[in-house]
Structure formats: structure tokens, C-alpha cells
Copies of this chain bind each other. A is one copy, B any other.
């Protein structure tokens, strides 16, 4: 068998992730490897932790990248914070809220679901109702629902969670680096993200952060965390302060990439980056509007980085999506679940969020519709 090296085609990545990766991040990954306990790598780990705290807007000591993708970060949070029988209230208005339910139940949680229609937010009043006469261990919610393009009102829900004596867990996979995520100001106790969305690093790591209150809950556990790989107390021996002990072999190259992408985020400035995502979202909406296309998600709560576009009646959504890929090299995403066949998902995330890309996708859609 003589297979050839893989040469990927040129793509403009405007789907739900991965987003386009800047040249200096790609270049970082072709640098030679060092060991996972090399003094130079340990110094780099410290910089990654420092930069992640800046990006999450937190002082949480326990802030580092889990060695898996965003879904591993989700599992990390639930597995460490939940013990069998613990009650959890989860907002469900898309794929990732449903995934939280599945993951929490596999950790033995007793789950109370608070549901909204796909494309609508979870209203804080719904959470408030669910918390009457209830003190769950956790309230958990997706910030930016990648499946529907909706931004849930985390800040207010976090306030309600704390009032009820619960910890607040937030999925920031698609929000981090693309719109405000203020872990400390909003009182978020646990958050996980992904590298392949608005941070514009390849998929493979999941930045996480746990508050002092969350770590207290971990320390008060009566049972072991069911996942050895994701046990934060063991990971702290490698990612924490002081002498580093071997736990697993960290993905060296992915950390090179994350380091460089975080550097670019901070070099641009968080505020400037959020503004860029907002401006390109507005520009896309204007362009789509000229094609009589509109956003399927609730007005006033639409994501800047992920646009769920209603497929016009009578249009073959898959054919258009395939033509975009084949003829223009532009990847956009299909709808999932109840949105399958009904929306296109146009991502403008991180490096992919540019005026040039907005023009390209609008022009290409114009020629196809």
C-alpha cells in the first residue's frame, strides 16, 4: 500500500467550526517537539494559563486546557462536579443543552430540564420557576448555542443560580473570544470552551476554568471522579503550581497552537475582537437581507459568530451547501435536529470573521439562489 501524503483542499471555513486558522498558528504547529516536562514547555504552560485567565476574564487559579475537544471539557465539568444522585437544572434549547443532559445523566445526576423552542432563548423566568423549592448542586446552560445561533442570558441566570445556592456551569465553546464572556463578573463557577471556534486554533483542546467554590465542591466529594483522565485533582498535579508530576502526556503541538492563538487574541484586544465579530455579523445580515434571507433565531438574541439562516421555501438546502463547497470552496454548516433542512449555519468565528469572507459568502449565495 503506497498512499500519498494528504494535501487538504483550500477552504474558507464559515461553518460551525473549525474556523480558519491564522498563518502564525499553523506555523507554530510545525515547530519541533519538546518533552511534556521540558522546562521550556512548563514555562509555556504558565503563559497559556495566564492568557486563558485574561480571555475568560477570571482570576481562577484552576484555568487550563483539557486534553480533548469541547465535549471532553463538558464531560470534565460534569464528572468533577457531580456525584451520583446530585440534582442539576439544565437549560435545553438546542443540541448542546441536550448533550449536557446526556453527559450529566451518565455521571449519575438527577436532571431537571428547562426547555425552550429551538431558536429561542431560555428565559431567566423559566429558571427562576425551576428553582422554587429546589437547591440543585448545579445550574448548567449553554452560552452560545451553536445549533440555533442563540445567545442565552447567562449573567441573569447565574445570579438566580447563586440565589438558590447552586453552582453555575456554562458552555462557552462558541462564545469565548467572539463576544463578552465575563467569568468572574458573572459569577460563573465552571466553564469550558473549545479552541476551534472564536479562538481560531485547531480542534483538540478544551480550555476550562473552575472557581474556588467549584474546587471546594470537588474537594468535598465522597466518591472518586468516574473519569481518571478528566479528574481535576490529578490534572492539578501537572497543570498546577510547583513541581510538575506526570499525569498523561499533554498534546504538545496543540498547546503550541493554543499559545499562539491566545497571543493573537490578546494582541488584537478582547473588546476589539468582540466588536469585529459584531460588525461582520451586522454586515452579513444586511447582505442576506438583500437576498431576502433572514436569521432564524430570536431577534435581539442572535449570535454574532454563528448565523442560523432560514432556507427559503422550495430551495434544496443541501444542493446549495454542496455547491458553495465545490464551486467556491466555502464551507457552511447544515441544520441539526429540528433545524435539519431548515437552516444554513454560517459561522463568522475568529480568523474567519472578516469583511472579505462576508462578501464572498453573500456573493456566492447570490449567484446560486
- A→B interface (CB under 8 Å): 1-11, 13, 15, 17-18, 20-21, 24, 26-36, 38-41, 44, 47, 50-51, 54, 67-72, 74-75, 99, 102-103, 105-107, 194, 196, 202-204, 224-229, 246-254, 256-257, 259-260, 263, 266-267, 325, 331, 336
- Please, how many angstroms separate the alpha-carbon atoms of A247 and B229 in the complex? 19
- Contact between A69 and B249, CB atoms less than 8 A apart: yes
- Contact between A18 and B249, CB atoms less than 8 A apart: yes
- Please, how many angstroms separate the alpha-carbon atoms of A263 and B72 in the complex? 28
Residue from A1, A4, A227 whose CB has the most chain B CB atoms within 10 Å: A227
Q: Smallest CB-CB separation from A249: which chain B residue?
A: B203
- Please, how many angstroms separate the alpha-carbon atoms of A100 and B320 in the complex? 49
Which of the residues B4, B40, B257 comes within 8 Å of A253, measured between beta carbons? B257
- Contact between B32 and A30, CB atoms less than 8 A apart: no
- Please, how many angstroms separate the alpha-carbon atoms of A229 and B53 in the complex? 26
| Given contacts A10-B32, A32-B10, A69-B249, A50 and B1 within 8 Å (CB-CB) | yes
- Please, how many angstroms separate the alpha-carbon atoms of A67 and B105 in the complex? 22
- Contact between A8 and B27, CB atoms less than 8 A apart: no
- Contact between A202 and B27, CB atoms less than 8 A apart: no
- Contact between A75 and B18, CB atoms less than 8 A apart: no
Q: Which residues of B contact A263 (CB under 8 A)?
A: 3-5
Q: Which residues of B contact A38 (CB under 8 A)?
A: 8-9, 11, 325, 331
| Given contacts A75-B227, A246-B336, A6 and B28 within 8 Å (CB-CB) | yes
- Contact between B252 and A203, CB atoms less than 8 A apart: yes
Q: Which residues of B contact A34 (CB under 8 A)?
A: 8-9, 11, 13, 331
Which of the residues B40, B47, B253 comes within 8 Å of A204, measured between beta carbons? B253
- Contact between A6 and B249, CB atoms less than 8 A apart: no
Chain B nearest Cβ from A201, distance in angstroms: 9
- Contact between B251 and A5, CB atoms less than 8 A apart: no
| Given contacts A27-B30, A227-B106, A40 and B8 within 8 Å (CB-CB) | yes
- Contact between A251 and B31, CB atoms less than 8 A apart: no
- Contact between B70 and A248, CB atoms less than 8 A apart: yes
- Contact between A249 and B17, CB atoms less than 8 A apart: yes
